[in-house]
Amino acid sequence: MSSHHSAPADTSGEAPRSSVVNRYGTPKRALGKRARIAGVAAGLVLAIAASALVAWWNTATLTSKDIAFEILSPTRATVTFDVEKSAGDDVECSVRVLSESYAVVGWKSIVLPAGEGGGREKIRSTVELRTESLGVSGGVGDCWTL
C-alpha cells in the first residue's frame, strides 16, 4: 500500500505572485523617462568635468626636449637638452647615450633645482657622460618632479 500525500491546498485565495511579494517585497518602480534623462545628463556633465580637470592638471607641467648630442670618443659623450618646468619645482632627469643597436651605453641622472619666483622657467643643460662603448645618439630619457 502506498501512501501518497499531496501538498495542502492554498486556501488563502492569494495568487502565487503575492507569496513572492510577501517573501521578497514589492518590486521597485522603474525610473521614469525624465529621471533617466536627468541621470544620464548628470553623468555626462561629471565625465566632461573630470576629463577637463585631468587635462588641465597634465598640461605641460614638465616638458623636455633634446637639443644636441656629441660623441666625443668611445668612452665619452655630451647631451644638451631643454626642460620647461614650474619655477618652484625641483626636477630630476635621466640622460642617456644609445648604441647603434639602441642599447644604453651611458646613463646619468641630473637634478635641476627650483628657481626663484613663480611661473614657468626654461633651463638648458649640457651633461657629459661616460660610456661603455661607442654611442651613436643621446638625449634626455624622462624627467620627473621631486
- List the domain boundaries for the chain: 16-57, 62-145
Q: What is the CATH number of domain 62-145?
A: 2.60.40
| 3: Cα separation from own chain's centroid | 72
Q: What is the DSSP string of 16-41?
A: HHHHHHHHH-PPPPPPPHHHHHHHHH
Q: What is the pLDDT of residue 143?
A: 93
Mean pLDDT per segment of 10 residues, for the chain of length 146 residues? 54 62 77 86 90 66 92 95 90 95 95 85 94 95 90
Q: CA–CA distance from 9 to each of 5, 14, 22, 23 (Å)?
A: 12, 12, 18, 19
Q: What is the pLDDT of residue 7?
A: 54
Q: What is the pLDDT of residue 4?
A: 57
How far apart (Å, rounded) are the C-alpha atoms in residues 7 and 25?
Answer: 25
Please identify which residue in the block is written with the cell numbers 627650483.
Answer: 114
Q: What is the pLDDT of residue 106?
A: 95
Q: What is the pLDDT of residue 36?
A: 86
